[in-house]
Amino acid sequence: MKKSRMIIDKAFKVSRVDERIYGSFIEHLGRAVYDGIYQPGNPLSDEEGFRTDVIDMVKELGVPIVRYPGGNFVSSFVWEDSVGPVDQRPARLELAWRSLEKNEIGLNEFSRWAKKADTDVMMAVNLGTRGIADACNLLEYCNHPGGTKYSDMRISHGVKDPHNIKVWCIGNEMDGPWQLGHKTMEEYGRLAEETAKAMKLIDPGIEIVACGSSNREMPTFPDWEATTLSHAYDHVDYISLHQYYGNRNNDTADFLALSDDMDDFIRSVIATCDFVKAKKRSKKNINLSFDEWNVWFHSNEADDDIMTNHPWQVAPPLLEDVYNFEDALLVGLMLITLLKHADRVKMACLAQLVNVIAPIMTEQGGGKAWKQTIFYPYMHASRYGRGTVLQPILDTPVHDTKEHENVTDVESVVVWNEEEDTITIFAVNRNIEEDSELTTDLRSLGGYHVAEHIVLESNDMKLCNSAGGELVAPKTVSRSTMEGDIMTSHLAKASWNVIRLKK
């Protein structure tokens, strides 16, 4: 058995976790909205047509914020079509995903859903086919109390109180040639500056997320971030990051090393932000919103067929990746990576929440909802990862993979919940061949005992859950023991571990 050693000290603080790091994302894409959160006629739906079983699962995840309505969808979104009497709303050709958008659910309905799900809305504005005036009009509609054209329009639609949406994304993946209204970095930087400036005149209390690179492999990365912020630095609060991973080569060991790439991506964006800060001699930090991240590759071929050969459907089954056990491990590793950077990553959105590359799935045609494998590490992090991140001193063996060198066997991060005085250790043994014995030195903490050790493990990396049953689910084990202030934990090969300590 491999052996790893770790030291935890409350003095080694990274940052208090902003709970919005556990956010998610719902786009008008595939069955995320229609047949996902909204399905009138289903016995499980409430009087407004919202699925109560899905709401219960969202609450179980503890999702604090949800990005809406896109995504690529937002770059041709006409928000005015999504408000007012439903029977007067037009159907539109939705160009990003070549679907038919009937506008039955719009921002007022989604806001009501968010309240039922105990979450907040992160609103995205269309800077693809529209611009500054439309962004300002939408903000006025959502946040201004009344007495103006668009706030009175909201009131006439039956919404007296403003939505008071705090976080606004100005555009989506504007560096991507696939994006409607794609911009050069100079074009977007100027547009972002002027849009953010105007929006903050309407509501100075909002937080604004500027578009960063769509992924680390974009040819304009990181010049895009540097140029955008050279214009918009004084008026925005966050820069976004997007990244998806897939095991296209069916190489599990290399797949589980991809969180190292995510770590490098985050470090590079932080360095770029701070480079611009230095150039501007600013005292302000730009923080990061990693508002799209997940595993995404299983459904690509089926998606291409639907959009090419069967376009203009209402809520077609797009991006319906069925996740397996190894996907859950990588999601756990990505969560650990986000937490390690909690001093600068203040928001993040698992993309997406229901049916579309999602932890929650619903059966087509009105069946039940069920939990994918990735549901569980996301739930554990959201539930137990509130508090202050501590940086453990970790000494662990390393291994090489096809595309990565010096990959640590064990990846771990620690969260101290001061209010409850609990310590939670999140750890993944990403060695797929050998178990690991993790010895943790807790002498500087004093007085803690092992409350529980939760694991997600399987000998079959391709094992999936389905509506028929959960083959991958967490269990509680007795694999962590304490002698004095030294804890010894057995981490099975290829496993997700949540070790919780209490006084």
Chain centre to alpha carbon of residue 359 = 11
Catalytic residue among 109, 173, 225, 320: 173
Torsion of CA 292, 293, 296, 300, to 10 degrees: 20
Distances (CA, A) of 304 to 26, 317, 357, 473: 21, 11, 15, 31
Which helix (H) or strand (E) segment holds residue 141: the answer is: helix 132-143
Distance CA 128, CA 133 (A): 13
Measured CA to CA, the distance from residue 97 to residue 303 in angstroms comes to 9
- Count the Cβ atoms, other than its own, within 10 Å of residue 463: 14
Strand (E) or helix (H) holding 408 = strand 407-408
DSSP 164-227: ---EEEESS-TT-TTSTT---HHHHHHHHHHHHHHHHHH-TT-EEEE---SSTT-TTTTHHHHH
Complete DSSP assignment for 6-66: EE--TT-EEEEPPGGGGEEE--SSTTSTBTTTB-TT-TTB-TTSBBHHHHHHHHHHT--EE
CA–CA distance, 243 with 173 (Å, rounded to integer):
11
Task: Determine whether 94 is an active site residue.
Answer: no
- Residue 360 pairs in a beta bridge with 354, 371
Sequence-distant (≥ 6) Cβ neighbours of residue 330 within 8 angstroms: 245, 255, 256, 258, 259, 295
Active site residue 173: yes
Tokens 């964006």 belong to 269
Rounded distance, CA 405 to CA 381, Å?
Answer: 27
Q: Report the distance separating Cα 374 and Cα 466, nearest Å.
A: 12
* Active-site pick, 292, 326, 411, 457: 292
- The count of residues in the chain is 503
DSSP-derived 3-state class of residue 331: helix
Query: Hey, which residues are catalytic here?
Result: 173, 292
